[in-house]
Amino acid sequence: MKKVLSVVGARPNFMKVAPLHRTFVAQHPEIEHQICHTGQHYDPRMSDAFFNDLDMPAPAYFLGVGSGSHAEQTARVMVEFEKVCLEAKPDCVIVVGDVNSTIACTLTAAKLHIPTIHVEAGLRSFDRTMPEEINRIATDAICDYCFVTEQSGMDNLAHDGYPAERTFFVGNTMIDSLMYALPKAEQSGVVQECGLTPKSYVLMTLHRPSNVDDPQQLAMLLDVFEELSSQRDVVFPIHPRTRKNMEQSGLLARTEANPRIHLIEPQGYVRFLALMKNADFVMTDSGGIQEETTVLGVPCLTLRTTTERPVTVSLGTNILIQPNGKEIREAMNALLTQPRKKGTVPPLWDGKAAERICEIITTTVLA
Ligand code: UD1
């Protein structure tokens, strides 16, 4: 029996691996699929809640690395993951996305000569000040197979000289999870719990270092949200990094005091999906939310200078907004007063990406 070991580390990884696990179990009994959780995210609301919502089994390996500087976190994952690889002896390793755990495990596995597969490969923001961009470039450069979600990823890998015969355009496992969980999200009472009705509120998330680590930038964004709250309720599930920075710069109390800004804890997957689906529009600096809102057909303003997911802008409902007060206010007012962009769902975002990936792994990678 061949063994496949998938790595998860941080919140956006769980929904990318869950469909792979389900598909291996249901359709490939000849494969033993195990999950290794690095523990980069350790807060139950950032981790356990996702395992439950996505019906994932407890990980076979938990590395418990926690937070730290980039070098500390990456190094700790490498040291611990090397032990796992030596013990588990997987026939291949799957890494997903662009977090520190992704590059750490790719470096480790590649040097142990274990075939390494990157799911969600080829994405580029072309902004090397983003830690994720370094993780993407480095992971793609040394992994053995690239599985790609959108055409820009194929183009970027070709441009970098990555071998075409090891590049596969398969669609988006994050969307597989969305389709899997949508019926549960329909049953969720989270919107009512917030005292709101569908389409009456704006959903907000912020956690990128470029938006939340600089107190001036963070204060500017909170001012804009305050203005928005005079027209719409704002639901703001708050990432631990953002909460910490708001506390430290004295911005938390004012936001907490505003009754139309609903500051809530980080939500589990199903509840967050329900909040997205029922939002009038979404404002975010996340990567994955750009994709999820595109599939849900909900307008999304992405408060960043770049996006590594351009198909969400060219085909989807996403609009990239330079994160300064003037441009955000203009975009917000346009959404509140003018007809909205109609989007379409990008090619192969059909809920079947994991099936394609598992098929290629069994017939090509492990053949
Ligand atoms: C990480 C990813 C980012 C992803 C995001 C989703 C990297 C470089 N960044 O960013 O790409 O979009 O996850 O959330 O891998 N913290 C907690 N509890 C937790 C996790 C973190 O309190 O469970 C706090 C800690 O104070 C920590 C800080 O959040 O220092 C940042 O965590 P970290 O894992 O370094 O990066 P994220 O900002 O979460």
**CATH assignment of 2-172+349-365, among 3.40.50.1100, 3.40.50.2000, 3.40.50.10680, 3.40.228.10:** 3.40.50.2000
Predicted confidence (pLDDT) per residue in 53-62, tens digit: 999 999 999 9
Q: How far is the CA of 207 from the centre of ligand 1 (A)?
A: 8
* Residue (of 178, 169, 133, 120) closest to 295 by Cα position: 178
Q: From the CB of 11, is ligand 1 less than 6 Å away?
A: yes
Q: For residue 309, what are its two tokens?
A: 């997911």
CATH number of 183-337: 3.40.50.2000
pLDDT of residue 133: 98
- Give the chain's length: 367
Q: From the CB of 238, is ligand 1 less than 6 Å away?
A: no
Ligand 1 atom closest to 98 (CA): 11
Residues above pLDDT 70, as percent of the chain: 100
Using 50 as the pLDDT threshold, list the residues of the chain that sit under it: none
pLDDT of residue 329: 98
Going by alpha carbons, the residue nearest to atom 26 of ligand 1 is: 241
Taking the C-alpha atoms of residue 255 and residue 260, their distance in angstroms, rounded to an integer, is: 9
Q: How far is the CA of 304 from the centre of ligand 1 (A)?
A: 18
SS3 324: coil
Q: From the CB of 241, is ligand 1 less than 6 Å away?
A: yes
pTM reported for the whole predicted model: 0.97
Going by alpha carbons, the residue nearest to atom 12 of ligand 1 is: 286
pLDDT of residue 56: 97
Q: For residue 166, what are its two tokens?
A: 């090891």
CB atoms within 10 A of CB 192: 11
Alpha helices in the chain (DSSP H): 11-27, 48-53, 70-88, 100-111, 131-142, 151-159, 173-187, 190-193, 209-212, 215-228, 240-248, 252-257, 269-277, 288-296, 311-314, 325-337, 353-360
Among 134, 241, 267, the mutation site with the greatest number of ligand 1 atoms within 8 A of its Cβ is: 241
Predicted confidence (pLDDT) per residue in 247-299, tens digit: 999 999 999 999 999 999 999 999 999 999 999 999 999 999 999 999 999 99
Which residues belong to CATH 3.40.50.2000 in the chain?
2-172+349-365, 183-337
Which DSSP helix (H) or strand (E) runs through 204? Answer: strand 201-204
